[in-house]
Structure 1
Amino acid sequence: MRDVARINFGTGGWRAIIGDEFIRSNVRLLCGALAQRIKSEGAQDPGIVIGYDRRFLSDVAAHWAAEVFAGEGIRTQVIKVAQAPTPMIMWTVKDQGLPYGMAITASHNPALYNGIKVFTAGGKDADEEITHDVERRMTQLEGAGEDEIGHIDYAKALAAGKITEINPFNGYIDSIIDQVDMQAIKDANLKIALDPMFGVSKTSLQTILMTARADVEVIHDRHDTLFGGRMPSPTSATLESLKRYVVDNKCDLGIATDGDADRIGVIDDKGNFLHPNQLLVILYYYLLKYKGWKGAVVRNVATTSLLDDVAKRFGEESYEVPVGFKWISGKMLETDAIIGGESSGGLTVRGHISGKDGIYAAALLVEMIAVVGKPMSQIYEEITGQFDPHYMAETDFSFPPERKPEILNTLMVEKKLPEFTEKVVDVSYRDGAKVYFEDGWIIARFSGTEPLLRIFCELPTQERAEAACAEMRAFLGL
């Protein structure tokens, strides 16, 4: 009997290497467990909606999943469009009032991965209570064998009306257009460069921006399951082509999205990469000052505390939560916050879906340039110039699998830490080991989506931030 413990949900769903753990039997096992939960709640109708990205096997795996839910007597809808962003799937869950949704995607992971994200009512990421329950049910199903999990051939289920194929594209696009100042964008005559990173954002973003009469030019939009040999993650290192394109073609902004379009990366008019931390600060400031919104901000433990300073300036609160967007969306609902996000590039704004949406975030950034009437580079400098400097150092370390228990024991059980040069004022073990300094912080935590240890540090100078990271790295022997 296989060890089902391999099928565990991380901070962004379940992800695994194709052909190793991402195989039909495991997809069916996970869906069978979720189907049991749905039936235990009496939620067979309205049921579930399933969408998928452009990764290898995503379309096939979506059929595997739909076959299980249909075979278990659950109303099953499949989003049948060439490019289905994850936020479109989440929006469909919210728009139709469905109890569950599912995306076949490994988001920004390397091309050899695929995975599954599960969503709940309102378009939220499934919380730990739900994912732990599904894992428990998988354990119970494990010994029964794949044939014991109900399933029906996709074509037969489609013909019998047990599976319905839908296209929510227009509704999703209209929901964003309704929340963005399209007239301001029309009046600004902007030129935008878009890099979908061979993912699924092109049609949606191009439609929104061209409806606002922006000039949109696209690179890296063909269907390539290897993502051009790059990680489909919008970072400074992966967006060199977009940087050059923006400068060479005198674009006002460059926008990139990750593989399933729930994360965003931005290149300003001078060809500089704007870190997601910077984008969050800019957008929060814009919503407060220019749009006149009121409300808190929610960030995770590895995201800039400059957001705290912005909140304080406007008499608002800033809330810190663990990594994983389910924590951000949950705290936003609890506090009626107006924006929430993470340093990895995901954010959401009050009034839209509760999950990450790189497409809506991109449209809002274009609106901001139009409304403020200044280049992105100038907007950022003017905003951050009002606050004390915050510099971030980020490092990822791979390690032999046998070292993980040792590192985990050192940090989280024995709670040992380096003798930092910076003065330590507090330590939190809520999510990894986070050390608070007098004027900054450092955190070491294991990634929930990749086999990595991540060390982030924020201090008033880049040199001090990098030095603190080096002290943590040396202490852990990385």
Structure 2
Amino acid sequence: MPTESTRIRFGTDGWRAVIADGFTFENLSRVAAATASWVTNTYGAGSTIVVGYDTRFLGERFARRAAEVMADAGHDIVLSTCFLPTPAVSWATKEYGAQAGVVITASHNPPEYNGFKIKGHFGGSALPEMVAAVEALVPADPVGPAKESGRNRIEERDIRAEYVDMLRRRIDVEAITSSGIRVVHDAMYGAGQGVLSEVLGGDHVVELRSSRNPGFDGVPPEPIEKNLAGVGHVIRERSCDAAIANDGDADRIGMFDEKGRFVDSHRLLSLLVDYLARDRELGGRIVKTVSTTDMLDRMADELGLPIDTTPIGFKYIGERILSEDVLVGGEESGGMAVKGHIPERDGLFIGLLILEMMARRGRRLSFLVRDLHERYGEFGYVRSDVHLDPAEKDE
């Protein structure tokens, strides 16, 4: 009978557990085997699976073990040569024509955790039915050691470099750099470190917490205001125009304006809708989770856009992006996706898009936020976290 240390439960975006307790090489191998079985059942043997990892403890070794297990099951593996953002794996999964992607990451969670995210062939989070199918296939018995024949099916590739090139193509880098914008990038010791400097050039970016530190200095890598002490001071001290903060795997975002004031996800989502609808003249549906601002409802009414509300969890937004014409999808926790990019959260791309908006309009971020409030009204927001163990969640 499975114990708490061997039972595998997938949450809203994959499986995660405490390293050396639930998240062990043995349990990881079981989850990788289940993923490989699901891919075989769905697409057949010899499918392609992209594998990446973030900056957490033993990330490279966990990723390689997952790759070996899935290669032993008869699949071709594209393994990242370095740590990289989760959206890079999502993009690569679609770009390479792969059938699935896997990221070894616990995202914004405390440093003692690691996890296993599954990506669909479409370049976004696996749909609920996919995850349920994988969970049902997790074997009870341990998985054997890697075989040499499987190792021969693993191709190592610099996915991160290709992702950076893609960002340069999809963002008006010239508008941002020629405007003279300088931005602080707080990578929170996560997998997004260095990316903005490579896209915009080092003269335009001041890097914070941009090194490998699996302990995250004891601060969970979640880009919310209480975890970003000191960012505002650096903005003012270095005369920067804004700051972008990303979580551990860089799919979430928080920002600060030039005065060092935090700009939360509700306002960032509203800015994206305003920019894409008014400046880029794009249409489509707004999809938000139930915990996200009502400002979007007012904007949708004025801009003539349909809007829908989903339960908590980006997977519900992802489903809508795949089946409908969605302009912007987002959640309170800082995960956002927009038309023309991948059907997935990408905190780096969203940050660059906001910088593009600032550059093309010739306005500071504080002005853009104030202008939103003047046109659509003031909306307040308070967050309070309540932590539950898995048994309590089941109840």
Counterparts of 1:58-457 in structure 2, within 5 Å, are 58-81=59-82, 83-138=83-138, 141-142=139-140, 145-146=141-142, 149=143, 151-153=145-147, 156=148, 161-210=152-201, 215-398=204-387
Letter in 1 for 2:132: H
Q: CA deviation at 1:41?
A: 2.4
Q: TM-score, normalised by structure 2?
A: 0.95
For 2:391 and 2:45, the matched residues in 1 are separated by 43
Q: CA deviation at 1:312?
A: 1.1
Aligned pair count reads 394
Residues 399 and 262 of structure 1: is their aligned pair in 2 closer, same or farther, counting only changes over 3 Å?
closer
Contact 2:196 2:205 in 1 (8 A): no
Q: CA deviation at 1:404?
A: 5.8
Unpaired runs of 5+ residues, structure 2, are none
For 1:102 and 1:403, the matched residues in 2 are separated by 28
Letter in 2 for 1:200: A
For 1:40 and 1:373, the matched residues in 2 are separated by 53
For 1:371 and 1:342, the matched residues in 2 are separated by 26
Aligned residues: CA RMSD: 1.9
Q: CA deviation at 1:372?
A: 1.1
Residues 399 and 15 of structure 1: is their aligned pair in 2 closer, same or farther, counting only changes over 3 Å?
closer
Q: CA deviation at 1:383?
A: 1.3
Contact 2:223 2:245 in 1 (8 A): yes
Residues 389 and 87 of structure 1: is their aligned pair in 2 closer, same or farther, counting only changes over 3 Å?
same
Contact 1:196 1:219 in 2 (8 A): yes
Contact 2:16 2:23 in 1 (8 A): yes
Residues 329 and 399 of structure 1: is their aligned pair in 2 closer, same or farther, counting only changes over 3 Å?
closer
Q: CA deviation at 1:333?
A: 2.6
Contact 2:50 2:89 in 1 (8 A): yes
Query: Deviation digits for residues 260-294 of structure 1, max 9, x if unmatched?
Result: 00011101101001111110001111111111111
Equivalent residue number for residue 36 of structure 2: 35
Q: CA deviation at 1:151?
A: 4.8
Q: CA deviation at 1:318?
A: 1.0
Q: CA deviation at 1:259?
A: 0.4
For 1:388 and 1:244, the matched residues in 2 are separated by 29
Letter in 1 for 2:73: E
Residues 259 and 123 of structure 1: is their aligned pair in 2 closer, same or farther, counting only changes over 3 Å?
same
Unpaired runs of 5+ residues, structure 1, are 409-478
For 2:44 and 2:392, the matched residues in 1 are separated by 43
For 1:349 and 1:56, the matched residues in 2 are separated by 32
* Greater Rg over alpha carbons, structure: 1
Contact 1:209 1:363 in 2 (8 A): no
Contact 1:51 1:78 in 2 (8 A): yes
For 2:392 and 2:131, the matched residues in 1 are separated by 27
Q: CA deviation at 1:214?
A: 5.5
Moved more, 31-40 or 354-363: 31-40
Q: CA deviation at 1:34?
A: 1.3
Letter in 1 for 2:208: I
Letter in 2 for 1:101: G
Equivalent residue number for residue 471 of structure 1: none
For 2:297 and 2:16, the matched residues in 1 are separated by 33
Give the secondary-structure state (helix, strand or coil) at the position aligned to 1:389.
Answer: coil
Give the secondary-structure state (helix, strand or coil) at the position aligned to 1:396.
Answer: coil
Residues 390 and 38 of structure 1: is their aligned pair in 2 closer, same or farther, counting only changes over 3 Å?
same
Q: TM-score, normalised by structure 1?
A: 0.79
For 1:404 and 1:157, the matched residues in 2 are separated by 42
For 1:62 and 1:205, the matched residues in 2 are separated by 25
Q: CA deviation at 1:402?
A: 7.5
For 1:170 and 1:57, the matched residues in 2 are separated by 22
Query: Deviation digits for residues 437-464 of structure 1, max 9, x if unmatched?
Result: xxxxxxxxxxxxxxxxxxxxxxxxxxxx
Q: CA deviation at 1:239?
A: 0.9
Give the secondary-structure state (helix, strand or coil) at the position aligned to 2:111.
Answer: coil
Residues 401 and 116 of structure 1: is their aligned pair in 2 closer, same or farther, counting only changes over 3 Å?
closer
Contact 2:177 2:200 in 1 (8 A): no
For 1:400 and 1:203, the matched residues in 2 are separated by 35
Contact 1:268 1:377 in 2 (8 A): yes
For 1:135 and 1:12, the matched residues in 2 are separated by 13
Q: CA deviation at 1:56?
A: 0.5
